[in-house]
Amino acid sequence: MKKFIIMMFIIVCAFLTVLAGCADSRQTEISESRSTASDLAFDPAESDEAAGKTQGSQPEANETAGENAGEEENMNRKMIVEVDGNRFTATLEDNEAVETLVEMIQESPLTIQMSDYSGFEKVGILESKLPSSNRQTTTQSGDIVLYQGDKIVIFYGSNFWSYTRLGRIDDLSGWEDALGDGNVTVTFSLEE
């Protein structure tokens, strides 16, 4: 009887080890398929930046003491983001991409069609590229970023990827509802 119990214990342990290995393998497959889907959703020919993506690594700190000082100077720099008639205010970052974007929308508001992607972001293509300074970052709802230099991405969920930060929505009240489930028309303009 003692041998039977020991044998059953060994079989159960072996079975649990196999199951744990299968679960880890399945999780890796899911992560890889998400990465592949992300790469395919955009232009794979432009995926040089995606090649730098590392699964499971921690995002770098987005701020240093020098960046904090620059951020304080630009706290009043605002942009209006209008999503299908719903108006939101965003605080802009301090970088070359934002400078170029501000120059574009000073002339006239920028209106682009944005498509839903993966249930956490909307992506719209710009007519021309903006300068990029990509960093691995974890985005949150309300973040506005630049992807591959010519795509603006607005988030109502979270993602980890290499982006250039453009700004952040100040008040998220109604943000997710405004973005809805499908495609949206978004207009970017400067605060009057």
pLDDT of residue 18: 54
Task: Confirm whether 61 is domain-assigned.
Answer: no
pLDDT of residue 55: 35
Give the tokens for residue 18: 């196999």
CB 124 within 8 A of CB 150: no
Task: Confirm whether 81 is domain-assigned.
Answer: yes
Give the residue-averaged pLDDT of 22-49: 41
Same domain, 112 and 182: yes
H-only helix segments in 42-145: 48-51, 65-73, 96-107
- Of 49 and 173, the one with more pLDDT: 173
Same domain, 167 and 86: yes
Same domain, 116 and 181: yes
Would you say residue 147 has pLDDT above 90? yes
Residue 119 falls in which region: left (phi positive, over 0), alpha (psi -120 to 50) or beta: left
**165, amino acid identity:** R
Same domain, 102 and 20: no
| Distance between CA atoms of residues 33 and 38, nearest Å | 8
Same domain, 33 and 97: no
Task: Confirm whether 56 is domain-assigned.
Answer: no
Task: Confirm whether 51 is domain-assigned.
Answer: no
Same domain, 23 and 85: no
- Please give the tally of structural domains in the chain: 2
pLDDT classification of 101: cutoffs 50, 70, 90: very high
Same domain, 121 and 177: yes
HSE-up (13 A, CA, CB side) for residue 15: 6
Task: Confirm whether 50 is domain-assigned.
Answer: no
Q: What is the pLDDT of residues 112-130, one digit of tens each?
A: 999 999 899 999 999 999 9
pLDDT of residue 10: 75
Domain span holding position 24: 2-41
Give the residue-averaged pLDDT of 160-189: 95
Q: Answer whether 0.95 is exceeded by the pTM.
A: no
Same domain, 29 and 106: no
Same domain, 29 and 84: no
- Of 113 and 3, the one with more pLDDT: 113
Give the residue-averaged pLDDT of 165-183: 94
Same domain, 92 and 151: yes
149-to-62, 67, 128, 145 alpha-carbon distances in Å: 19, 21, 8, 10
Would you say residue 46 has pLDDT above 50? no
pLDDT of residue 9: 67
Q: For residue 151, what is the domain's CATH number?
A: 2.40.100.20
Q: Of 171, 175, 168, nearest to 90 (Cα)?
A: 168
| Distance between CA atoms of residues 163 and 21, nearest Å | 33
pLDDT of residue 126: 95
Residues in Cβ contact with 32 at an 8 Å cutoff, skipping those fewer than 6 apart? none
Same domain, 34 and 82: no
Task: Confirm whether 49 is domain-assigned.
Answer: no
pLDDT classification of 148: cutoffs 50, 70, 90: very high
Same domain, 104 and 21: no
